[in-house]
Amino acid sequence: MKRRNFFGKLGASLGLLQKDGDVGIFISSSGFTSDSKTTARSSHVHVELIDLSRFIELWQEFYHKLSDEDKALLPLIPIYFYSPSG
């Protein structure tokens, strides 16, 4: 799978964050290059880089707070496992 040049897009997108309190959120299912991580860390604005694992963690954590309409975008079904030890 070819990794896109996200580093350049990240740097260009940071210019859109102009007001105090603006936050840039970038989500990638394939992770981020070290250049992208460095750009985000050294940015003068707040930038969150969220990979697929973190996105799923956040979705699970806040799922109960979402509206039914939002839950329908990525529905979760709980799965239970038997634990003989209790």
pLDDT, tens digit, 9 for 90 and up, residues 17-57: 666 777 778 888 888 888 888 888 887 778 889 999 999 89
- Model pTM score: 0.63
Predicted local distance difference test score (pLDDT) of residue 53 = 93
Which pair of tokens denotes residue 72?
């329908």
Q: Token pair of 16, please?
A: 């859109």
In the chain, domain spans: 6-71
**CB contact at 8 A, 45 and 17:** yes
In terms of average pLDDT, the best of 9-13, 40-44, 68-72, 73-77 is 68-72
Radius of gyration of the chain (CA): 17
Contact 59, 74 (CB under 8 A): yes
pLDDT in the model for residue 15: 62
- pLDDT at residue 68, rounded to an integer: 94
In whole angstroms, what is the distance from residue 9 CA to residue 2 CA? 16
